[in-house]
Structure 1
Amino acid sequence: MASISASVYTSHVPAIGVAMDLGKTAEPYWQPLFAGYEYSKQWLRDNEPDVVFLVYNDHATAFSLDLIPTFAIGCAEKYLVADEGWGPRPVPDVVGHPELASHIAQSVIQDDFDLTIVNNMPVDHGLTVPLSLMCGQPQVWPCPVIPFAVNVVQYPAPSGRRCFELGKAICRAVEKFDEPLRVQIWGTGGMSHQLQGARAGLINREWDNRFIDRLIAEPAELARLPHIDYVREAGSEGIELVMWLIARGAMADVAGGAAPKVAHRFYHVPASNTAVGHLILENS
């Protein structure tokens, strides 16, 4: 049967993709950030999954304000890289895993979570930047990817508790898939940042690091954090962190297994006007 071997958490700042695409990773501003992912790239080579289930948010690319699903799962065979206004990023298109994606959709919907099934959508920096940070700049991505888009752009966004419970349902679905696949689940977005208004540029180092502490040690309690706390402490875009709770809810300890191993942890500011957080947890 399939199983989830690890979860990966990372910011998906668009400027990171630009820095990689323009060959700026060794510049003094960017080098400390990319140094924090060197371990991660080797870790992924050493622990290559058969499939990555990647939780991210669309930035008005696949979905406009005319149609915004709360949770959308990609069930296609292939996803083109989106043109976000300056041409598509020069990275490979994403190969999907429609069999596992369709199975997860069936299982999770029968588990009382309403998903939107998407068979054609471009993927933007929310998905491609995490892949670039973890995989570098390959000719093809090392494995198939199932895109899972969450609305954290237009109010109301799903609660942390709902996201955490959804992660549990995804784990149950994966474990019922009748192939011996090694699956990783990635939660992306955040950390603290605000892009507009009087608090534009807000970064809260203490809150971010406390969030990572709690994500590791007390995820169920963290999942009860109300939206207003994210907005007040981490800025208007800090709500993206609820997507990390989907990945954390899919780990074995949540269902009574052993506590995960912290394989890597990294935090850096600034990257553009955003705090960057990164964590890798391995199931025992």
Structure 2
Amino acid sequence: MPASQNTCFTPSSFLLTGILGLEAQHIWMGIPFCSLFVAAVLGNTTILWVVRAERSLHQPMFLFLAMLAVTDLVLSTSTVPRMLAVFWLSSREIGLDACLAQMFLVHCFATVESGIFVAMAFDRYVAICTPLRHSAVLPAAVVARMGLAALLRGALYISPLPLLLRWQLPSYWHRVIAHSYCEHIAVVALACGDRRPNDLYGMAIGFLVLILDSLAIAASYARIFSAVRGLAAPEARRKTAGTCTTHICTVLAFYVPIVLSSLTHRFGHNVPPPVHILLANVYLLVPPVLNPIVYAVRTRHLRETLLRRLC
């Protein structure tokens, strides 16, 4: 540790504060976080199990859902166990490399999840607007390549964030991260030197992913709803619209917390620190819990297959 807060130094580890301002409630706050984590792990592993075991579910929609489950498992397991160690064991110390690895996993797989939502919107567009060509346009090999493309895009976009911190900003004013995990903005705030490249790149990637992916999803659903209005039978319109509602709910559950968290971090200087941290935790825990529940409840084929397998 440095002797003075005005001295830059290169730490070997950081200290996580948890939820700043609510340290006295950490023990109790760990209970809902742990419950959500267990629900996320059970729900997503169940989705993976039933999709793998049931050949009738080897369709683009359910293959993308399996990819979403893997992504949600990585997002939750890379942060929540470390968070619970802070809440319950007061184990606040995290190594520098472990912190940068956690940062990479969180932001990379959040970007991957956004890409999978775009792929799922495209799948719904093909299935509804050109149903006779669905199997030809999206065979299993193409679905796998789309998932790989989402993964590579996430790794390519996010890799510069920890690398810039490791090489360009190796020194820090202090090592206390005012967060419950190694979030990029919270770590950059501690760094000595010119932080503008990190800030600008992080902001540019965040808005690029959110805006481009949101526009792609909106364009797909604009075409879908146009096609739905052209259906003659009301029952067919309801059934077709129902298949899209599930995806729209999960998309909103993912994007809304991310947008709110990003805006409060960047511009909400008067927002209390606990609100910042809780919003950042919401988009890591709520979508992994909601996604399997929403799809299991709203998708009849998946629900019936799951019940048959369990019973």
Relative to its length, the structure with more helix (as a share) is 2
Relative to its length, the structure with more strand (as a share) is 1
TM over 0.5, shorter chain: no
Larger radius of gyration: 2
Query: Could you tell me the TM-score, scaled by structure 2's length?
Result: 0.26
Query: Could you tell me the TM-score, scaled by structure 1's length?
Result: 0.28
